[in-house]
Amino acid sequence: MLLAALAMAGVAVTTSIGGQGGAVRDQNVKTALGVAESGVEQGLLQYNRYGLVPDTAPCAPVGGTAPDAEGWCPEVSGTTVNGGAVSYRVKPTSTEMSGGKIAWTEMEVVSVGTLAGVTRRVDVTASSSAGQKMFVNATVKSKDGINVASNAEIHAGSATNGDINLEGLQCGAATVGVGKGLNGKGGYFSDIDCGTAGGEPGEDEIDLPPVNQGGAATENDNYRLFSLDQISGNKNTACFNGLNGTGKADKSCGARELVIGHNSSVTLGGGVYSFCKLRMDQNSSLYIAEGREILIYFDSPEACNYSSGATQLELQSNTRITPLAGKSGSAALLFVGSPDRSTNILLNSNTSVEEDVVCQQNFVIYAPYTDINLDSNTWFCGAMAGKTVNLKSHAEVWTSSGVQEFFLPLVAPHYEPTRFVDCSAVVVTGSPSEGC
């Protein structure tokens, strides 16, 4: 009997040891996963601190040799994190820009973490906005959703990761987020002339990587205001960087804030500007000098010392952003934004961005962290991408012929993760991303 009791006790002890072993294994699994994720961070860090990736040597940031036939760079290993071994491989993907220039706009990182015989693999896709052709398939894009009020119209392809709430018209092929839908009583057509019923919209994931402004915050053409980029109208009502058009101190604008007072206009003739805010009062205009292709960066709310909810572009009623009459020109308004502090763009009633009714210019608003609001009777020609896009009554968005060829500026890329997959733990002998 004593032997039986001892046997029972032995079973209990064995069970206890087994249970503790399971707990240790659970802990090792978590650590191995963390180790694998640290490999992804290492890979992204190598690229984000490298600068412009050479056209012909995309593996330079992680080793300097050419990728294999499938595009994978050599394995990087030999480091230890939290006692676990980490190794990773990177697969950069390029976009060919105009003039044959290569932009390495996307990368995939497969990382393996191993600790005490426990292996975990993760696969992360990351992208950079630098050199991306953002508006190939759709010229109205939104991360979180598109809202079209009654009598508002989009005459362009639209894409969002959220829903499209449609009370007006969506004329142009639309895609919604995976598992999302097109809701409302509005009309959906597959062509921009609203001729063919659209049926059910497609479902797809879109990627709107954040704006990388490079050194634009300090290296820009802001100095031209208002000496070379002159004011037409009342110079006392225009203000930039704390000074009005006559050079006197003016509290109506702060650092890198441009205010164009009512009935005044400013003509931009530089190449790159960096603003915190642009406010155009009633009946004011911002002209693009002939032949100019202007980039206007709007810095992050943190850099501008703005609290959450700041409006960084405000066009009051009857304002215009347009080339000089009869001339060509284009402008891209790029908003750095912030994932932590919300920002807004407000196009008030009766404003226009490119007022030529044939809509031929390349006007772009790219603001992945910013809500874009088009008030009633607003007219916009070009392409826009925002956190949300909201059209109120009688607002219209049209696409221009050339805007699909617009590339975001090629600066040193900054890759941000866009997709995470927890792969099967087994390391296969085929492609590094197999089983992910």
Partner 1 sequence: MARIRERAGVLRRSEGGFTLIELLVAATMGLVVVGGAVTVFIGAIQSQSRTSTKITAIQQGRVAVERVTRELRQGADVTTATPSQLSLITYVKQSPCGGAAAANAKACRVTYACTTAECTRTVQEPTPGSAATTSPLVTGLASGDVFTYSYSSGESQPDYIGVELSFGTQGGGPVVIADGTTLRNAGL
Contact 397, 155 (CB under 8 A): yes
Residue 426 contacts partner 1 per CB under 8 A:
no
Stretch that binds partner 1, among 54-62, 295-303, 375-383, 421-429 (CB under 8 A): 421-429
Whole-angstrom distance, CA of residue 102 vs CA of residue 65: 17
Q: Which is nearer to partner 1, 254 or 435 (CB)?
A: 435
Query: Is position 157 an interface residue for partner 1 (rule: CB under 8 A)?
Result: no
Q: By CB under 8 A, is residue 9 in contact with partner 1?
A: yes
Q: 174-213: which residues touch partner 1 (CB under 8 A)?
A: 177-179, 181, 203, 205
Answer for which of 13, 17, 19, 65 binds partner 1 (CB under 8 A) is 19
Query: Can residue 223 be called a binding residue for partner 1 (CB under 8 A)?
Result: no
Q: DSSP for 363-401?
A: EEEEEEEEEEEE-TT-EEESEEEEEEEEE-TT-EEE--T
Residue of the chain from 17, 24, 26, 327 that contacts partner 1 (CB under 8 A) = 26
CB distance 110 to 423 below 8 Å: yes
Nearest CB to partner 1, comparing residues 27 and 305: 27
**Judged by CB under 8 A, does residue 4 bind partner 1?**
yes
Tokens of 180: 């999302």
Sheet holding 352-353, edge to edge: 187-189, 169-171, 153-155, 396-398, 379-381, 352-353, 320-323, 285-288, 265-268, 231-232
* Cα distance between residue 295 and residue 407, in whole Å: 11
The least CB distance from residue 72 to partner 1, in Å, is 16
List Cβ neighbours of 248 (8 Å cut-off, separation of 6 or more): none
Using only C-alpha atoms, what is the Rg of the chain? 27
Distance in angstroms (rounded) separating the CA atoms of residues 280 and 263: 10
Name the minimum Å distance from CB 307 to partner 1.
13
Query: Per CB under 8 A, does 70 bind partner 1?
Result: no
Interface with partner 1 (CB under 8 A), residue total 32
- Is there binding between residue 21 and partner 1 (CB under 8 A)? no
The residue (of 230 and 342) whose beta carbon lies closer to partner 1 is 342
| Spatial separation of the C-alpha atoms in residues 337 and 212, rounded to whole Å | 10
Per rule CB under 8 A, is residue 22 in the interface with partner 1? Answer: yes
Which span sits near partner 1 by CB under 8 A: 145-153, 165-173, 214-222, 415-423? 415-423
CB 162 within 8 A of CB 143: yes
Question: Is 14 a binder of partner 1 (CB under 8 A)?
Answer: no
For partner 1, which residue of 13, 15, 197, 401 counts as binding (CB under 8 A)? Answer: 15
54 interacts with partner 1 by CB under 8 A: no
- Return the C-alpha torsion angle 229, 230, 234, 235, nearest 10: 70
Name residue, tokens 């694998």. 36
Minimum distance of partner 1 from residue 425's CB (angstroms):
10
CA 182 – CA 190 distance, rounded (Å) = 13
Site string for partner 1, 313-352 (x = CB under 8 A): --------------------------x--x----------
Residues that bind partner 1 (CB under 8 A): 1-2, 4-5, 8-9, 11-12, 15, 19, 22, 26, 29, 177-179, 181, 203, 205, 339, 342, 417-422, 424, 433-436
